[in-house]
Structure 1
C-alpha cells in the first residue's frame, strides 16, 4: 500500500511541476490553450463556408469541424505531449522514488484534463449559440474520447523508448504523423468516399474515433463503416505493446 501511495505523491508532484512548466504562473498560458483550437476551428469554418453552402453533416460548419478537430486532438495532443515525458524529466529519474512511468502518468492526466476543458468550452459555446437544439449522446462521446486517449498513450509509451534509442526514428515518426490530420476525417465524412478507397480510409483507427465522437453530436448520423470492435482491438493492442516495450526498457529510460 505504501508503494502505491508513494507513486501517487510522486505523480501529484510531477503534475504540479508540469502545469507550472507548461502554462506558467499567469493565466495567459491557460487562455492560449483555449484560443489555439478555437482559432483553428474558426479558420476552417471561414474557409469551407466560402466554398460550400452546407457542411457535410448538420447545418453548422463550426460544429462539424469542431467535432472532428477536438476528437483528433484527444489523440494527437496526447501523443505529442507524452512522447517526451521521460526525456524532459530525465534528471528527476536519478531519485529512486521517481519511476519513468510516473512522468508518463502525470502528463497523461494533465493532457486529458486540458483537452477535456478545451472540448467543454469550445463545443459548449458552439452548441449554446446554435439556433437548432442539439441532443448529445454522452456514451458515444465518452467512448470515443477514451479510445483516443488509450491509442495516444500506447503510441507515446513506445515512442518514449524509441525516441531515446533511435534519434532518427523521431524524425521518421514526425514525417509519417503529419498527414493524419488530413486523412482522418476531420474535413470529410468517410461515408461519402467511394469504394475501394472507403475501405482503405477505414483502416485508420482515428477515422473511427472521429466518427464515434460525431455520432454523439448528430443523432441522425448513421456512421456507415464505424467498427467499434476494430477500434477497441487496436486501442488495447497498442496500449499492451506500449506497456510491454516500456516495461522491458528500464535501462534505456533511466540511461543506465
Structure 2
C-alpha cells in the first residue's frame, strides 16, 4: 500500500530518515522565545509547541500573538501546535469547546504548520477540529496517548486506522510499556499498520527507558518521525536530539 507523505514547509514527513521533532515547553513568552533561539542552532526537523505548558493559554489572542513571534523566531522550521489534555498526559484541563476554538484560531493564523488533535475526544469534536484545521490550510496530527499501559496489538491497529478514517494527515500513538514485551507489541502493530493499512505517515513510540529503542528504530517498522529533546523534554524516554540524529542516520543508511 502506497503511503502518502506530508509536507510541512520544506520537511517531507514519510520520506527519507525519520524526522526529529523537538518540543518547546516554556511557561512564558520569554521562555518560549529563548528556547526557539536555542532550537534554531540545533536545527531539528520540526518544533512542537506544547501550549498546555504556557501560562497564557487561556487567552486565545495571546496564544496567537506568541505563535506569530515563535514563527518569526524559528524561520523555516515548521511548527506543530499541541494542546495535550490532562486526560492524555498534558499539563492542563480544557473544555472541548475551548479546545476546538483554540485549535481553529491558531490554524487560521497561519503561524503553525500542523495541529495535534486527540482522536478520542469524541467524534463530533474531532471532526470539527479536523475540518477547521484543514480549511485553514494546516495539517492534522491525529493522536492517542497512554501514559499507564500499552494496549493490545489489535487495539493499537484500531486506533491508528480510526485516525486515518477521521482524516488525520499523520497518525500518532504513544504508549507506556510495563515490560519489554510491550515495546514489541507497539513495534509489531506499527509494522502491520504500515504494511497493510497506512495511507498516511505513522508516528509511534513506546515511552520511558524500556521504550527508548522504539524512538531509535522506528524506520525499520514504518514510523516516519520521532521526538528528541534539546534541554527539557515533554515525555519520558526522550533522548538528546543530536544523539538521536546520529543513530537515525546510521540506521537509514543501513536500510
Give your verdict on TM over 0.5: no
More helix by share: 1
Largest Rg, 1 or 2: 1
Higher RCO structure (Cα 8 Å, ≥6 apart): 1
* TM-score, length of structure 2 as denominator length: 0.24
* TM-score, length of structure 1 as denominator length: 0.24
More strand by share: 2
